[in-house]
Structures are given as C-alpha cells and as structure tokens.
Amino acid sequence: MVIKQKEFNVKELSYSIRSAIIEDAKALSELRVQIDGETENMDRESGEAYIDPTGFEKIIKTDLESLRNIFLVAEIDNRIVGYSRCEGTNLKRLLHKVEFGVCVLKGFWGYSIGKNLLKESISWADSIGIKKMTLNVLETNYKAIELYKKHGFEIEGILKHDKLLADGRLYSTIVMGRFKEG
C-alpha cells in the first residue's frame, strides 16, 4: 500500500514520511544493520538476520502490492533515518489485525520521527478497516511504552525472561495492542 508523502518540522529539523520504494532497498539494508548496533531495543544485534538489498526489494514490492501491508520511511535530505512497517496476513481469522514495528537512528531520537511513523501507520490502519494493531517492546524501553499508550495501545501480556542482553541479564518483552471499535 502507498500513502501520500507528508512533511514534518520538529525542533527545526525537517523530514518527510513516505512509502518505501524499490530504490530504497540498499539504504534500508545498511540502516537496519546500523540501528541494530545502536540499541538493545531491537530483537537483533548488528548484522544478525541480515537482509540484503535484494531481500528488501522483495519486501518493498510485496508491501506496495498488498492492501494489508505498509512500509514507511522517514527521510531527511534524501537520507533515510528511520522506518516502520505494518504487516498483515490473508488468513481469514487474522484479517482484522496487523503487526507494527518501528526503528529510528539514535542520532535522530527526540524529533518525533518514531511518533509520526506510528501516527501515519495508525491512520493507514484505521482507513482500511484494521481493527487491531499489535507490537512487542522491550520492558526497559519506557519512552516507547508511554508513546504507544498515548496512542491507544495497552499492555496485553508479558513474555518473561524473553531477551538476553549484553549485560548477561534476561529481560521481558511487553506485548501491546491497539483495538479500534466499530
């Protein structure tokens, strides 16, 4: 699915959010590795479960053709600095929901890029009749948890001792969902 590009200006930083296109594949492949290495909030360490540009081309093509998926990028001066993705399924019992994920380069935290990717994803989901959005978030990612709560998500469960981080400790994953009535 494709959305119309939107422009944002937060704390004197201008950026746009738009649908990913095939030409973004190489930049997205490199960006994902970089983001995975900047924070332990993601499921992967840098380079794990690597998706090469060809892999991203396939994901983008699928998402552009699917009414149940959307892949958004945040761009500053022709540089992608974050992205989000909603993925649905064609299974009849799960047609009402999509899974959401988002990531932003650490150097661009604090400019509402993640928040605006989330808002655009929610707007898209609501516009096509999606009833439920789900996501997983690391228990220590307090800012993300609060952001999601502010946008209608609630905690649905906890996966205890779900992630082993660099400090050698196990951390839980918070399962959150947003349900739209009507």
* 132-138: strand order across its sheet: 6-10, 13-19, 70-76, 79-87, 97-104, 132-138, 170-179, 154-164
Q: Give the SS3 label for residue 111.
A: coil
- pLDDT (tens digit, 9 = 90+) per residue, 86-106? 999 999 999 999 999 999 999
pLDDT at 22: 98
Q: What is the pLDDT of residue 175?
A: 98
Phi, psi dihedrals of residue 147, rounded to the nearest 5°:
-60, -50
Predicted local distance difference test score (pLDDT) of residue 45? 87
Match 């050698």 to its residue by tokens.
168
Q: Which residues in the chain show pLDDT less than 70? A: none
Burial 21-36 (b: 16+ CB within 10 A, else e): eeebbebbbebbbebb
Q: CA angle at residue 173 from 102 to 56, to 5 degrees?
A: 30
Among 55, 58, 60, which Cα is nearest to 19's? Answer: 60
DSSP code of residue 178: E
Write down the pLDDT at residue 48: 85
Tell me the pTM.
0.95
